[in-house]
Structure 1
Amino acid sequence: MQSQILRKPRILCLHGFRTSAEILKRQVLRWPAAVLDKLDLVFLDAPYPAQGKSGVERFFDPPYYEWFQATEDFTEYTNFEECLAFIEDNMMKSGPFDGFLGFSQVGFV
């Protein structure tokens, strides 16, 4: 019987509002090695530069990004469809993926 080569699950990691792939990567890489060694993590920056102050400025250096923009009451969205197309395009280029890790704003996606 021929042995199968098992690959690590490939996970697309999407950061939160007005942060970045690098910030999420720095946070996730604090997980135990026993977990990290079993995953193939791919980190993606959102397509739009942050249009306001980031809540992480005291802790992490810029640049910061947004997935889409919304009114303060979250009743109107801008660039939401473009955001979905951006993620899908990157999935096609860098995939296939077995799962997603998303934080904050990307939970809307």
Structure 2
Amino acid sequence: TGGDEINELCWTNDTRSMELLTSQNKTLADALNDYFATLQSTIKGTGKTSVAWQEVVYTPETPGVPPPITQNLTITKDTVILPWIKAADAAAIVDLGYRIVHASYEYFYLDCG
């Protein structure tokens, strides 16, 4: 279902998107939370399991770098999380009650760009 590397500026610089959110008295974080809630419900309704990148539930703190906007989303515990930023993040995500597929890029990373 995604959740990694969301470019907030792409959304906040889009006047039409921000006007719509403002008219609904919502923030970008609210919109993302609604999106993920709908997506999870739809996927669960088909009998499938949601899978998302670690940023939707956990990102290690980096001094001077604000956490991603996805940090505090409400993600159901039946979602499988892909920890990829650091291998050590896997244990922290399991401790939050999620199942994982360990996908740390510290060992191997294919990037098409």
TM-score of the superposed pair, with normalisation by structure 1: 0.29
TM-score of the superposed pair, with normalisation by structure 2: 0.29
